Amino acid sequence: MVFFGMMIILSSAILLPLYLKGGLLLSATAAGILLLPGSVINGAMAPVTGRIFDKFGPKLLLPLGFSFVTIAGFLFTSNSTETSSLTFILIHCTMFIGLAMVFMPAQTNGLNQLPVKYYPDGAAVMNTLQQIAGALGTTFAVTLMSSGQTRFANTHPTAAQPEILTAGITHAYLFIAAIAVIGLILSLFVKRIRVY
């Protein structure tokens, strides 16, 4: 689940600035400002999810987190060149609230399955897998964005470049939403590992 979460977050880190600058035609500064609330909320959620995890374990947080990410992923597939800034911020914040509910609980619960002496090894493996997930996620996302742009341009020969770019990015978000759905299904089978 950490693997899927990293695929989603790094794919979004590539796609969303492209959408804001090329689809909505915002400046780099305006794009950064629109991305800021989600990042701030993601950081602020860390102590909250930690307390909830200590009390209830991953069984509550992981399905709820992946539900938020899934909803946001599908909402991003309906973006257009007319999407308002407020709508974008709300969807982006929803995704990052969900990701905050996924990362720490999945990582902690995963490491808790190991004997304490193997925690450093488990953390090293998890960090390596996160790098691989990021590489795969961005590769798939950019490839699907490109194919979505090509398909849209072929079926809409008079479309403007912002429309073509937006169509490609919404096409790539189908992949991200699908990963979120897989994560949601897997999260239903997670068991809490108690450390004694």
What is the predicted pLDDT for the residue at 89?
Answer: 94
Distance between CA atoms of 41 and 30, rounded to whole angstroms? 18
**pLDDT of residue 170 exceeding 80:** yes
* Helical segments of 112-160, H only: 119-155
Name which of 35-44, 59-68, 111-120 the model is least confident about. Answer: 111-120
Mean pLDDT to the nearest integer, 53-73: 92
Q: What is the pTM of this model?
A: 0.90
Give me the chain's average pLDDT, please: 91
What is the predicted pLDDT for the residue at 191?
Answer: 80
What is the predicted pLDDT for the residue at 194?
Answer: 63
**pLDDT of residue 100 exceeding 60:** yes
Encode pLDDT of 179-193 as tens digits.
Answer: 999 999 999 998 876
113 in Cβ contact with 196 (< 8 Å)? no
Distance between CA atoms of 79 and 106, rounded to whole angstroms? 30
* 2-187, CATH topology level: Growth Hormone; Chain: A; (1.20.1250)
**pLDDT of residue 116 exceeding 90:** no
Encode pLDDT of 13-62 as tens digits.
Answer: 999 999 999 999 999 999 999 999 999 998 899 889 989 988 888 888 99
**pLDDT of residue 107 exceeding 60:** yes
Closest C-alpha among 194, 190, 193 to residue 2: 190
